[in-house]
């Protein structure tokens, strides 16, 4: 365990802080517990407040640069997408060891960071914010590992069985027009087409917005390379809301009673037809895509 010395303005002997999580992984909508561990420096100091933040590294465009300010509360290390105040003012004496327990609820839209045990590249963390003498600093983030919900696994597994391949699963700044999205960013799965659709589309982009009652599915087709020109304009052209081609809503209930492979395939066909693309003849489905099944 490595403690980070914070509040350098207090001198070399300032306090140090570390965030420790009690469990290895969580699903969207779940709960994470842990402790913020404080260690006093060479002299005591009055702590003004202690808070906990959920942070994400978020891309803003084709170049993959990270968001470093703007309309979203942000500090070095990523976009803050949730915050919990742990404590008001207190005295941290010299060399004092103090552990502050916490429980934080993970937002339903929090993107998965792994699938079938394989990392997706999404970088999420939990870190402490610490203020004293008018200065503010942050401990190093503790990695947050998020597993997909069963409904997300159902859709991604169906795409794998159909032969779609995973290119990337980037976090992108901005909200999808016409959706119920709440977080300031979303996860975009970029997929190579299944063999039966290889002459119809270049790529498929998929976003899964989960909530307590179900999941919104947003599909986009037939763009080359990185699908997004920027953080705020990328989905303005998408047709309509729920019920339009490329937009679907599914429940968390009854997953085992649905033909996910057939249903997801029908979504893709409808999307291609709506764009006026030629529908390919029925062909082999191809191998399960690594990292998607």
Distance CA 165, CA 293 (A): 9
Residue 141, helix vs strand vs coil: coil
Q: What φ, ψ does residue 36 adopt, rounded to 5°?
A: -100, 120
The confidence score (pLDDT) of residue 226 equals 40
- The neighbouring-strand residues paired with 211 are 214
Other CB atoms within 10 Å distance of the CB of residue 175: 18
Helices (H) and strands (E) in the chain, counts: 2, 18
Which position has the token pair 């039966």? 196
The confidence score (pLDDT) of residue 45 equals 86
Residue-number span of the structural domain to which 59 is assigned: 4-143
SS3 content of the chain, % helix, strand, coil (to 5): 15, 40, 50
Distance CA 10, CA 17 (A): 14
Residue 285 lies in a domain: no
Looking at the structure, do residues 132 and 208 belong to the same domain, yes or no? no
- The length of the chain, given as a count of residues: 293
The confidence score (pLDDT) of residue 276 equals 67
Looking at the structure, do residues 101 and 154 belong to the same domain, yes or no? no
Residue 292 lies in a domain: no
Residue 223 lies in a domain: yes
Looking at the structure, do residues 130 and 261 belong to the same domain, yes or no? no
Asked if 139 and 150 count as a contact pair (C-beta separation under 8 A), the reply is: no
Which position has the token pair 């998607």? 292
- The neighbouring-strand residues paired with 36 are 19, 100
Residue 74 lies in a domain: yes
Instruction: Tell me the torsion sign for CA atoms 49, 184, 265, 115.
Output: negative
The angle subtended at Cα 182 by Cα 141 and Cα 54, nearest 5°, is 10
CB hemisphere CA count around 25 (13 angstroms)? 14
**Where is the domain boundary, 92, 119, 143?**
143
Residue 126, helix vs strand vs coil: strand
Asked if 13 and 93 count as a contact pair (C-beta separation under 8 A), the reply is: no
Looking at the structure, do residues 129 and 8 belong to the same domain, yes or no? yes
Residue 227, helix vs strand vs coil: coil
The confidence score (pLDDT) of residue 2 equals 47
The confidence score (pLDDT) of residue 245 equals 61
Q: What residues have CB less than 8 Å from 179, skipping those under 6 apart?
A: 209, 216, 218, 241
Asked if 104 and 31 count as a contact pair (C-beta separation under 8 A), the reply is: yes
Per-residue pLDDT of the chain (293 residues; tens, 9 = 90+): 444 555 554 555 678 899 999 987 999 999 999 999 999 888 888 889 999 999 999 976 544 444 433 334 444 558 999 999 998 889 999 999 999 999 999 999 999 999 999 999 999 999 999 888 777 888 899 999 999 999 999 999 999 999 999 999 999 999 999 999 999 999 999 999 999 999 999 999 999 999 999 999 999 987 544 443 333 334 434 445 444 569 999 999 999 999 999 999 999 999 998 876 434 344 333 333 444 54
Q: How many domains does the chain have?
A: 2
- The neighbouring-strand residues paired with 126 are 54, 142
Distance CA 84, CA 105 (A): 9
Looking at the structure, do residues 128 and 257 belong to the same domain, yes or no? no
Is the pTM of the predicted complex or chain greater than 0.75? yes
Looking at the structure, do residues 205 and 77 belong to the same domain, yes or no? no
Residue 39 lies in a domain: yes
Looking at the structure, do residues 129 and 253 belong to the same domain, yes or no? no
Which position has the token pair 């339009």? 244
Residue 270 lies in a domain: yes
Residue 281 lies in a domain: no
Distance CA 41, CA 94 (A): 5
The confidence score (pLDDT) of residue 232 equals 37
The confidence score (pLDDT) of residue 8 equals 52
Question: H/E element holding 45?
Answer: strand 45-56
Looking at the structure, do residues 86 and 176 belong to the same domain, yes or no? no
The confidence score (pLDDT) of residue 247 equals 94
The confidence score (pLDDT) of residue 261 equals 98
Among 24, 28, 23, 49, residue whose Cα is nearest residue 128: 49
DSSP single-letter state for residue 116? T
The confidence score (pLDDT) of residue 89 equals 87
Residue 282 lies in a domain: no
């Amino acid at each position: 365990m490595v403690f980070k010395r914070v509040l350098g303005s207090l001198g070399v002997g300032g306090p140090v802080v570390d965030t420790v999580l009690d469990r290895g992984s969580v699903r969207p909508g779940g709960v994470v517990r842990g402790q913020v561990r404080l260690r006093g420096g060479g002299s005591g100091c009055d702590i003004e407040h202690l808070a906990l933040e959920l942070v994400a590294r978020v891309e803003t465009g084709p170049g993959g640069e990270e968001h470093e300010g703007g309309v979203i509360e942000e500090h070095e290390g990523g976009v803050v997408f949730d915050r919990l105040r742990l404590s008001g003012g207190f005295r941290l004496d010299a060399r004092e060891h103090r552990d502050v327990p916490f429980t934080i609820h993970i937002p339903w839209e929090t993107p998965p960071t792994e699938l079938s045990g394989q990392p997706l590249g999404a970088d999420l963390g939990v870190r402490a914010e610490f203020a004293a003498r008018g200065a503010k600093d942050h401990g190093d983030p503790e990695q947050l590992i998020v597993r997909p919900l069963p409904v997300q696994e159902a859709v991604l597994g169906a795409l794998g069985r159909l032969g779609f391949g995973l290119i990337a699963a980037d976090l992108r700044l901005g909200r999808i027009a016409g959706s119920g999205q709440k977080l300031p960013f979303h996860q975009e799965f970029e997929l190579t087409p299944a063999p039966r659709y290889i002459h119809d589309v270049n790529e498929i982009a998929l976003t899964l917005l989960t909530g307590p009652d179900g999941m919104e599915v947003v599909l986009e087709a037939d763009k080359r390379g990185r699908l997004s020109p920027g953080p705020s304009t990328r989905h303005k052209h998408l047709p309509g809301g729920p019920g339009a081609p490329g937009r679907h809503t599914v429940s968390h209930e009854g997953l085992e009673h649905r033909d996910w492979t057939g249903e997801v395939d029908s979504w893709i066909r409808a999307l291609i037809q709506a764009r006026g693309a030629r529908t390919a003849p029925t062909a082999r489905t191809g191998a399960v895509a690594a990292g998607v099944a």
